[in-house]
Amino acid sequence: MLILKCPYCGIEADETELSPGGEAHLKRYGPGSSDEELEGYLFSRENPKGVHFERWRHVYGCGKWFHAARCTATLEVFGTYSAQTFEPPKEIIKIIKVKRPGWKWRDLS
Amino acid sequence: MSKRLGKGGLLINRNKPIKFEFNGRKFSGFEGDTLASALLSNNQVLVGRSFKYHRPRGIVSSGSEEPNALVNLGENDKFEPNQRATTTELFDGLKASSQNHWPSLNFDIGVINNYLARFLPAGFYYKMFIHPRPFWKYIYEPFIRHSAGLGRAPSQKDNSKYEHFYAFYDVVIIGGGISGLNAAVTAAESGLKILIMEQTSTWGGRSIVDFPNIYDETSLEYVSRLLSELKKFENVTIRSRMMGAGVYDHGYLLGYERLNDHLNTDDGPRHRLWRIRAKQIITATGAIERPLSFPGNDIPGIMLASAVRDYAVNFGVSSGDKIAIYTNNDDAYRTAITLSGFGIEVPVIIDARVSGGGELAESARALGIRVENGKAISKVFGKKRVEAINICDHKNSTKDREKIKCDSIAMSGGWSPVVHLYSHCGGKLKWDEKLALFRPDGYAKPTSFDGQPFVTAVGSANGLLLMHDVIQDAWEGCLKVIQAARGKVKKKSPKETLHERANAPEAIWIAPQDADIKKRSKIWLDFQNDVKVNDIELAAREGFESVEHAKRYTTLGMATDQGKLSNINGLAILSSSLGKEIPKVGTTTFRPPYTPISLASIGGSARDDLFQPIRKTPMHYWHEKNGAYMEPVGQWRRPFCYPKEGETHAKAVEREINQTRSSLGLLDASTLGKLLVTGPDAGKFLDMLYTNLMSTLKIGKCRYGLMCSENGFLIDDGVVARIDEQTWLCHTTTGGAENIHGHMEEWLQTEWWDWKVYVSNVTEQYAQVGVVGPNARNLLEKIGGLNVSKDELDFMEWKDGKLGKYDARVFRISFSGELSFEVAVPASQGMAFWNDLVEAGEEFGVMPYGTEALHVMRAEKGFIMIGDETDGTVIPQDLNLNWAISKKKDDFLGKRAQERSFMVNPNRWKLVGLETLDGSVLPDGAYAIADGFNSNAQKLTQGRVTSSYFSPTLKRGIAMGLVINGPSREGEIIEFSKIDGTIIPAKITNPVFYDPNGEKQNV
Amino acid sequence: MKRYSVFAVAREALRYHQGWGRVWKKPEPKKKYEAIIIGAGGHGLATAYYLGKNHGLKNVAILEKGWLGGGNTGRNTTIIRSNYLQDASAAIYEKARSLYETMSQDLNYNVMFSPRGVMMLAQTQHEIRGYKRTAQANALQGVSTEFISPEKVKSLVPIINIDGPRYPVLGALWQSRGGTARHDAVAWGYARACSEMGMDIIQQCEVTGIRQKNGQVLGVETSKGSIDCEKLGIVVAGHTGVLADMAGFRMPVEAVALQALVSEPIKPCMDVVVMANTVHGYMSQSDKGEMVIGGGADGYNNYTQRGSFHHVEETVRALIETFPIISRLKMLRWWGGIVDMTGDRSPILSKTPVKNIFINCGWGTGGFKAIPGSGWAMAELIAKGHSSLTEEFRLNRFKEGQFIDESVAAGVAH
């Protein structure tokens, strides 16, 4: 039973207020993209046993989408942040690096 | 015999006798008794039969760890199977019966399994009953099913009430013994918000029974003083009869409060499930005594030493006249001393340790009790009751030394901390070699959202068994917890108290140590599931080496007590069979709940009419009053049809359609989703969402739109109306309103967050009525106001204004093919508006129609229905809706996906109409067959029916379907299969069966 | 290996069962195998078994990180059915179901397959149409199902409340030869048979790397050393992403928690398996007497084998509504498993971008019922390079847009 802090309304929201939305920071591929790009965008997922960047919606609260950095193996939450960004904030990356030495994600290391 | 003593009984009120029934016999006990203590006081030691061999079973424990004393409790709607007698508080009129026997407890046919026990070792069923094949289903399995199970199934609906609480605390303390109470007092002083819960009705845990005095008070005084101190704190909530049921991630904790199980009443809720968020949790859950593993250790009359003590001190009940003690540790000597104090004969204390016990043993000897060190019980005489024992040397069982008469045995194999709650959420354990027990590893506690520990075990639950250690540990553990919860720490260490000097226990996993296979076949580990030492050994020999394998193969620990008494003993046998150390073998996973909790408490108050909310349109009650047969559509209820007295649904639907097509029908369309999309970028946004071009829609006009998922599939459809320069009103399907609203928000917030668009779901703000049929305009003109003539309001246009006294928005759209208006009025005016329409429509024979008539009429007209023609695998192109897919746009959701190879395959199944040759109705969902079979021997198909109805208008069956290359095959006859294997030929037609040129709707 | 029978048990009983040997051997890994299967769950063991039995390929090792059958094989609700809508699903699940019918005899191990019947309740008009369509499809797929009336539902399941205030029972899709089996026994039975064929089941052996050269597999690195192989099958539900990462490709799967629970045992009161998809719950009664209960999966990535309590709440609530007599029963044990979910919620049985690596994953909530069919098909794919049963479950379907979507027929699968 997760608790995630909604970065918009500041509430420590119980999981029952939230709706999960899958992996965050996916780049949309529309017309003109290759089949591989489209498949990657729609279906390929990091699915890590460890640090995961993911989307949530505070659906029974303020209604806003936000992002969370969370460990899928321990359920530790490293931070939540605005959904309106292309990559995780530097502060959160810093926290993760301290807590999970050797961690890598896409191009970040 | 077991009996009530002339004195003693801290918890009972001898002035208040209570009558109860067991197996139809009338008994009497006292207020404060448990069912178990009351049964014992009436010499009812035999209380049930075991699961597999149907062996006689007696009460073993005095608490929630009880594996044997399970009863059917109550009657009728209050009947409950598998209730533990040891935790059932006695009330007047209680009725209980024993379980798992036929015809009676004393004479049980099932005991034949016991005589066959040698042929039924662990896992016997995997090796037998293999041939002949049908016998498993028809003979073996029914037999096994009927001899398994425990209590009876309830036969009635449960009418008691249940509820949930939400609660938030800084620190929750589970357990009301001296460690819990001391921790609570320490925590209370920190100013934090505290909850302490105790699963029984009384406080103090074992201390009241085990220690006559604590500091300079009696233990009873000490406990009540701590409790009254706690009550003074406003920041402390105190609850008894409440169990910590489960610890979940991020400090989520379930508390299970039993409010009136101990009362014969239905006032208020029976159970309350507390859903707690705690910053920190302290488990002060104590420890459970382990049985000793010796031959015949399951015979009624053999009990845990601590339980024998509990029954004497708390209830003034003796488990026998002559009670032998058998132990591997000092603690059991307390039982001997206690019994001696009550004047009960203790013929012998058998201590497995050659070196014997410490201070307590000396006290027992001083009382004149015989103590035999280094000895074991080699045999127990008696079947349904202990009669005598043989004793031998612990390390040499070849020769019995002596037969000693006794009718009860108090055994102690040491203690196991209750680590369940600590472990539920990932807390790790370590093996304490000296005390022979698993205790919480303080360095590997469960962690919360911040990665920090949030569960701390204190006292006996932390592996500390002596009073001073317990109190000290409760204080120290609590200080750390207070710091973690950011409370104020007051450093006031507890006073020194009595230091007992105890000799170390000796881990005795099997007694006598050299017991041969015959003896090992009579040593029980799991009393309820009949798992014996030789069963575990067999599992190990056969390669079931993992503790999970051994558990599942033998069913050890899978009974209703979940192995509270048996797991450690079984684990030790397994590890010695494998020649491994105990910690290398490890424990099975601890899963909630700690003890079983009622399913009803999990459901809470949301049952019957409150099970799920029902959404009702403003006209809902009119429909109900006028005989509507309602169908669930999402959370809405919609009229399916309005059958008249004695009319079938089919006839009602026919009547509704005929009247609508010939004159006038009314449809409650309020459930249709209504999303208001507004802002400078709203047009651009809708162009991305719909396959159509919506930005060019003129104010005052409507357009039918299609929405696809990014994966290309059609997800919703509906009419979009342009309200003003920056506002569009998007209609969705009934089931789609919330989803499509969410879909829009998702794209707006997570992809196009810089677009200036605002979406609001106004579905429930309006009542919407479809006024349908040749007389539709006449009716609205009769109501008066807004000009709805063809010139003023043409097809696919909308208009705001007054209709009669109502604030109306009139859309001229049609889903039936008739002249049709959909009129939206504010929800508050809906009922009055509907009534006026019904009244004014009387001269036209106005008739309400339901969803089925709606479906048939749209099918007659060839309109698709989301969920019928689509199923999540259909793209708009399949439905010949290319006209609604804009060629002018670079992009919309799903556009790229629709370009994938399988989507542009020319051989996709496409929408057609279907007519049987004889006018009959094609079966719902029937498939059109093709020649041959695929490589998996499945019949090849070439299409399927998506909607099929009897058309009252055309007086024959009509259907829509998807067929390979369908539209180019019009006129061709294809074959549909029926479930019975027969074939129905049908002709491919245009899907528009009725008024193909739209002359009816465009008047 | 000793043959199991009532006579064997009786003979052994005379010497207190001292003569039973290991059910499966405990070998050290060899340097090289023709084929290695990673994962000794039901699917992995079944794959190995049919490699040997159907294709004569017996130089096989099955590597297991923990204990055989210790993953989802041993933590599901044991339902077996094949009433799927789409041809590809019906084919593999019906293959599995038919193999379950004779599994006890084939393996000489009683897996207690009990064709007690599975019913899926229709509680909305939409569900009625969906299940009628499924029955039509099943008739052509050689799967025996029928759509039955509420009265028939009541006669098969007397404890059901067909007039529920919220969702009345309007009918049901009924598969009389669906049912349950003893889940652990399926893994143990296959393991015993594989071991008997000379295959090496190596438990407590974690794969830490996958070696390849020129796009072709060479072998694996493990906690017990390096092992070569010609062919490699990855059959590790829940941990597919981790293994795929070692092989250097990504999979369209996500790991989520699925929860289940049982009540305390009671005397028999329900003979068939009932699934209520509108309200998201299903229930059967085990041979022990426990009511076995499951519901939908959690929605977020999770490797903890612990789910969120509110899902359990919803499931239990739905089942009390459907079966009012269970209200006063007690929840005995609750647990969670990790399941792989794919983009279309159907499994993947496929070749991969690396030559001679094959993958079997994505069974989501429905893996147990597929075990023998999945093993049969996977063995064919590994041995021959193609199988009609796996063709449509290929990895490339996501690129092509040819999905296998069962959601039309069931809100929840399992």
Which of B168, B248, B250 to mutate against chain A (most A CBs within 10 Å)?
B250
Which residues of B374-469 form beta strands (DSSP E)?
375-381, 388-393, 396-405, 408-412, 415-417, 429-432, 437-440, 455-457
Residues B129, C288: C-beta atoms closer than 8 Å: no
The verdict on residue C407 lying in a domain is: no
The answer, yes or no, to whether residue C409 has pLDDT greater than 70, is no
- Of A87-91, B567-571, B946-950, C293-297, give the lowest mean pLDDT range: C293-297
Q: What pLDDT score was predicted for residue A108?
A: 59
Work out the average pLDDT over B220-238: 97
Say which amino acid occupies B941: T
Closest CB to B447 among A3, A63, A76: A76
Q: What pLDDT score was predicted for residue A105?
A: 82
3-state secondary structure B62-84: CCCCCCCCEEEECCHHHCEEEEE
DSSP class of residue B216 equals: T
The answer, yes or no, to whether residue A109 has pLDDT greater than 80, is no
Q: Is C299 on the interface with A (CB under 8 A)?
A: yes
Name B799's bridge partners.
B810
Residues C335, B868: C-beta atoms closer than 8 Å: no
Which residues of B496-654 form beta strands (DSSP E)?
524-526, 531-532, 597-598, 629-633, 636-641
Cα–Cα distance for residue pair B343/B365, rounded to 1 Å: 15
For chain B positions 474-533, those within 8 Å of chain C (CB to CB) are 517-518, 521
- Of B100-114, B572-586, B709-723, give the lowest mean pLDDT range: B100-114
How large is the ipTM? 0.97
The answer, yes or no, to whether residue B498 has pLDDT greater than 90, is no
The answer, yes or no, to whether residue C2 has pLDDT greater than 90, is no
What are the tens digits of pLDDT across the range B423-432?
A: 999 999 999 9
What residue of A is the nearest CA neighbor of B894?
Answer: A30
Token pair listed for B805: 């006294």
Work out the average pLDDT over C207-221: 97
Could you give the C-alpha distances from A98 to A53, A91, B548, in angstroms and in order? 17, 11, 36
What residue of B is the nearest CA neighbor of A36?
Answer: B900
Token pair listed for B296: 């015949």
Backbone angles phi, psi at B43, to 5 degrees: 60, 30
Q: Are residues C133 and C271 in the same domain?
A: yes
Q: Which residue is listed with tokens 């003796």?
A: B318
The answer, yes or no, to whether residue B582 has pLDDT greater than 90, is yes
DSSP class of residue B224 equals: H
The answer, yes or no, to whether residue B59 has pLDDT greater than 50, is yes
Q: Is C388 on the interface with A (CB under 8 A)?
A: no
The verdict on residue C213 lying in a domain is: yes
Q: Are residues C334 and C286 in the same domain?
A: yes
State what percent of residues in chain C have pLDDT above 90: 90
Decide if C287 contacts C267 (C-beta within 8 A): no
Work out the average pLDDT over A85-89: 95
Which of A42, A43, A82 to mutate against chain B (most B CBs within 10 Å)?
A42
* B290-413 has CATH 3.50.50.60 classification: yes
How many CB atoms neighbour CB B807 within 10 A? 14
pLDDT band at C243 (very low <50, low <70, confident <90, very high): very high
What are the tens digits of pLDDT across the range A34-62?
A: 999 999 999 999 999 999 999 999 999 99
Per CB-CB distance under 8 Å, the chain C contacts of A45 are 241, 250-254
Name residues whose C-beta falls within 8 Å of residue C345's C-beta, 6 or more positions apart in sequence: C364, C405, C406, C407, C413
What are the tens digits of pLDDT across the range B628-642?
A: 999 999 899 999 999
Backbone angles phi, psi at B449, to 5 degrees: -60, -25
- Of B105-119, B204-218, B468-482, B763-777, give the lowest mean pLDDT range: B105-119
Which of A14, A47, A74 to mutate against chain C (most C CBs within 10 Å)?
A47
Length of chain C in residues, anyone?
A: 414
Helix (H) / strand (E) element for B540: namely helix B533-541
Q: What pLDDT score was predicted for residue B588?
A: 85
Per CB-CB distance under 8 Å, the chain C contacts of A1 are 308-310
Q: What pLDDT score was predicted for residue B344?
A: 97
Size of interface B-C (CB pairs under 8 A): 316
Decide if B324 contacts B346 (C-beta within 8 A): yes
Cα–Cα distance for residue pair B365/C345, rounded to 1 Å: 71
Q: Provide the domain limits for residue A68.
A: 3-99
What are the tens digits of pLDDT across the range B709-768?
A: 999 999 999 999 999 999 999 999 999 999 999 999 999 999 999 999 999 999 999 999
Residues B749, A14: C-beta atoms closer than 8 Å: no
Instruction: Report the CATH number that the domain containing residue C349 is assigned in CATH.
Output: 3.50.50.60
The verdict on residue A67 lying in a domain is: yes
Tell me which residue of C97, C209, C83, C92 sits closest to C139, measured CA to CA.
C83
Instruction: Report the CATH number that the domain containing residue C146 is assigned in CATH.
Output: 3.30.9.10
Work out the average pLDDT over C136-161: 97
More confident: B778 or B211: B778
Cα–Cα distance for residue pair B422/B428, rounded to 1 Å: 8
CATH-assigned architecture of domain B3-119 = Roll (3.10)
Q: What pLDDT score was predicted for residue B103?
A: 86
Sheet containing strand B597-598, strands side by side = B597-598, C330-342, C253-263, C291-301, C281-285, C273-276, C118-122, C171-175, C146-148
Q: What pLDDT score was predicted for residue B493?
A: 81
Decide if B867 contacts B736 (C-beta within 8 A): no
DSSP class of residue C47 equals: H
Q: What pLDDT score was predicted for residue A107?
A: 65
Q: Are residues C276 and C378 in the same domain?
A: no
Quick one: how far is CA B928 from the chain centroid? 43
What residue of A is the nearest CA neighbor of C305?
Answer: A73
Name B724's bridge partners.
B727
Q: Which CATH class is domain B674-764?
A: alpha beta
Question: Nearest C-alpha of chain B: how many angstroms from C213?
Answer: 32
Cα–Cα distance for residue pair B930/B874, rounded to 1 Å: 21
Residues A72, C255: C-beta atoms closer than 8 Å: yes
Mapped onto helix, strand or coil, the DSSP state of residue C403 is coil
Instruction: Report the CATH number that the domain containing residue A61 is assigned in CATH.
Output: 3.30.2270.10
Q: Which of C338, C355, C387 is the endpoint of a domain?
A: C338
Q: Are residues C170 and C267 in the same domain?
A: yes
Tell me which residue of B275, B273, B167, B277 sits closest to B605, measured CA to CA.
B273
Q: Given CA atoms B715, B718, B721, B727 in this order, what sign does their dihedral have?
A: negative
Decide if C361 contacts C243 (C-beta within 8 A): no
pLDDT band at C408 (very low <50, low <70, confident <90, very high): low
Could you give the C-alpha distances from B404 to B349, B388, B749, B769, in angstroms and in order? 11, 6, 81, 90
Q: Are residues C349 and C388 in the same domain?
A: yes
Closest CB to C140 among B154, B873, B927: B927
DSSP secondary structure string for all residues of B619-666: THHHHHHTT-EEEEETTEEEEEE---TT--HHHHHHHHHHHHHHT-EE
What are the tens digits of pLDDT across the range C305-323?
A: 898 999 999 999 999 999 9
Cα–Cα distance for residue pair B792/B781, rounded to 1 Å: 13
The verdict on residue C19 lying in a domain is: no
pLDDT band at B215 (very low <50, low <70, confident <90, very high): confident
The verdict on residue A57 lying in a domain is: yes
What residue ranges do the domains of chain B occupy?
3-119, 162-284+416-484, 290-413, 523-599, 622-671+766-857, 674-764, 895-989
Q: At what angle do helices B333-341 and B305-315 cross, to 10 degrees?
A: 30
Superfamily (CATH H level) for B622-671+766-857:
Probable tRNA modification gtpase trme; domain 1 (3.30.1360.120)
Closest CB to A39 among C255, C300, C398: C398
What are the tens digits of pLDDT across the range C253-290?
A: 999 999 999 999 999 999 999 999 888 899 999 999 99
Q: Given CA atoms B318, B322, B328, B329 in this order, what sign does their dihedral have?
A: positive
pLDDT band at C410 (very low <50, low <70, confident <90, very high): very low
The verdict on residue C137 lying in a domain is: yes
Cα–Cα distance for residue pair B355/C320, rounded to 1 Å: 57
What residue of C is the nearest CA neighbor of A50?
Answer: C303
The verdict on residue C9 lying in a domain is: no
Per CB-CB distance under 8 Å, the chain A contacts of C401 are none
Residues B710, A83: C-beta atoms closer than 8 Å: no
The verdict on residue A105 lying in a domain is: no
Question: Nearest C-alpha of chain B: how many angstroms from A49?
Answer: 16
Q: Are residues C265 and C327 in the same domain?
A: yes
Q: Which of C320, C338, C356 is the endpoint of a domain?
A: C338
Provide the domain count of chain C: 2
Closest CB to C136 among B158, B871, B979: B979
Tell me which residue of C399, C34, C391 sits closest to C233, measured CA to CA.
C34
Mean pLDDT (chain B, rounded): 95
State what percent of residues in chain A have pLDDT above 70: 97
The verdict on residue C21 lying in a domain is: no
Mean pLDDT (chain C, rounded): 94
Q: Provide the domain limits for residue C384.
A: 29-105+182-254+344-400
Backbone angles phi, psi at A41, to 5 degrees: -65, -45
Q: What pLDDT score was predicted for residue C413?
A: 34
Residues A1, B250: C-beta atoms closer than 8 Å: yes
Q: At what angle do helices C87-101 and C371-384 cross, to 10 degrees?
A: 110
pLDDT band at B179 (very low <50, low <70, confident <90, very high): very high
The answer, yes or no, to whether residue C414 has pLDDT greater than 50, is no
How many CB atoms neighbour CB B826 within 10 A? 15
Residues C16, B517: C-beta atoms closer than 8 Å: yes
Q: Is A19 on the interface with C (CB under 8 A)?
A: yes
Provide the domain count of chain A: 1
Chains that touch B (3 or more CB pairs under 8 A): A, C
pTM: 0.96
What are the tens digits of pLDDT across the range B858-903?
A: 999 999 999 999 998 999 999 999 999 999 999 999 999 999 999 9
Token pair listed for B482: 């207070």
Q: Which of C338, C353, C387 is the endpoint of a domain?
A: C338
More confident: B465 or B691: B691
The verdict on residue C268 lying in a domain is: yes
CATH code that applies to domain B523-599? 1.10.10.1100
Superfamily (CATH H level) for B162-284+416-484:
FAD/NAD(P)-binding domain (3.50.50.60)
DSSP class of residue C4 equals: P
CATH-assigned architecture of domain B895-989 = Beta Barrel (2.40)
Residues B249, A14: C-beta atoms closer than 8 Å: no
Closest CB to A44 among C239, C250, C301: C250
pLDDT band at C411 (very low <50, low <70, confident <90, very high): very low
Q: Are residues C36 and C142 in the same domain?
A: no
The verdict on residue A85 lying in a domain is: yes
